[in-house]
Structure 1
Amino acid sequence: MSSPALRRALTDPGEPPLRPLPEEVGGLLEKLAAPPRLAAHLRAVHDVACTLADWLEKRHPEVVFDREVTLFGAAVHDVGKTIHREELSGPGSAHEQAGYELLVSQGIDEDRARFARTHAAWGADVGVEDLLVSVADKVWKAKRVTDLEQALVDRLAAATGQPPWEVFMALDDALERIAAEADGRLAFQASHPVGD
């Protein structure tokens, strides 16, 4: 049975309204007695990842990516903070490997668990899904990271044959629209406690 504070973080609609996490993830967070603030953060990033996936499917239907895996990755990317709770309100990267190991220990296959590790590192070997989760994890709070966005632009330009500048302009417009609602997402996250 989850705490009332965690249940609220998982079900409160938010303003602007946030989509619910995948049922599997909500159940996992309840099982792990996740901090309510973590659940709120995961909902905010998951919601932005949904928006980015919608944009990608509409703007570049020829780009092949796994939408379900992307959204799952956004919904669990920081699950390691159930172990490293100090990283909920302070810096740190210990949650990345810990989150991956935690997900695998809970029966999540490595391909889906990888987002706990890849959301903060976007080398050449990561897929479009990983880049979308990483971008969502930044832009939800209106943070723009040039090299990360460029990696996504390069990947999309290669997949579509469009000039990189054209891909950049469209992505930049989409990210600006998302960033414009960051205050609401930040307020939603802050309204949920770090502990029970």
Structure 2
Amino acid sequence: MTTLWRALTDPPLPRLPGAAEELLRELDAPPRLAAHLRAVHDAALGVLGWLRDRHPAVPVDHEAVRYGAATHDVGKCLHPAELSGPGSAHEEAGHQLLLARGVPERLARFARTHGSWTEAGTTFEDHLVSLTDKVWKAKRVPDLEQLVVDRLTGAAPGWQVFMELDDLLTAVAGRADDRLAFQNAYPAATFPH
């Protein structure tokens, strides 16, 4: 059993959508990248569950958010130095990689948008993927959170939505140490089998 396989399947985090898992195996992704994507996907599942329960009338493409969380950093297969250091070359590279593999734009875009959530034309789903890419490790970004609150404000007052979202993100962030330990248990480099 390879380290990548273990990073994709070991408990306790939920597994990625099948298409994302298959893509990472085909790319022979670095195990740490697979573990990171599972950690972000886990956070996304928490946010999506909350949206389904607390804001069921708000339209959101759950499949796209799950896929986006599961593949947003796929460009790091091409730019592995960005697994352990700064850089954004992986964003456009990941977007192009997904498109070249036949992934529809509605799913591939997250590789490009997860780090540029302030740009014009980003969607609620883009904001959710960006949010979960931050909160999985307990990083809070008030401006990003406000974009989500603004989208959800309507039936409930903004202050109430803000407080509910804050409670959710505090709970999601509360598992950050476990997610970080899971991610860091896997090597950043792919080794020969």
Smaller-chain TM-score bracket: over 0.9
Q: C-alpha distance in 1, partners of 2:112/2:102?
A: 17
CA deviations 1:106-142 (Å, max 9, x no partner) are 1101111000011111135222211111110000000
Residue 6 of structure 2 corresponds to 8
Alignment match of 1:22 (pick from 17, 41, 50): 17
Structure 1 segment 55-74 matched on structure 2, within 5 A:
55-74=50-69
Write the distance in 2 (CA, Å) between the matches of 1:61 and 1:23: 25
Find runs of 4+ consecutive structure 1 residues off by over 4 angstroms: none
Corresponding residue of 2:181: 187
Matched, 1:106 2:101: yes
Alpha-carbon separation, structure 2, partners of 1:110 and 1:59: 29
In the aligned structure 1, how far is the partner of 2:2 from the partner of 2:157? 50
Structure 1, residues 55-90: CA drift from partner, whole Å, max 9, x if none?
Answer: 011010110111011100100000000000000000
Question: What is the deviation of 1:26?
Answer: 0.8
Percentage of matched positions with identical amino acids: 59
Distance (whole Å) between structure 1 residues aligned to residue 176 and residue 76 of structure 2: 22
Name the CA distance, whole Å, in 1 between partners of 2:75 and 2:61. 23
Number of residue pairs aligned between Structure 1 and Structure 2: 189
Partner of 1:41: 36
How does the TM-score come out when normalised to structure 1?
0.94
Gapped regions of structure 1 (runs ≥ 5): none
List gaps (5 residues or longer) in structure 2: none
The Cα of 1:150 is off from its aligned counterpart by 0.7
TM superposition score normalised by structure 2: 0.95
CA distance in 2 between counterparts of 1:179 and 1:70 reads: 18
**Letter of the 2:55 counterpart:** H
Partner of residue 169, structure 1: 163
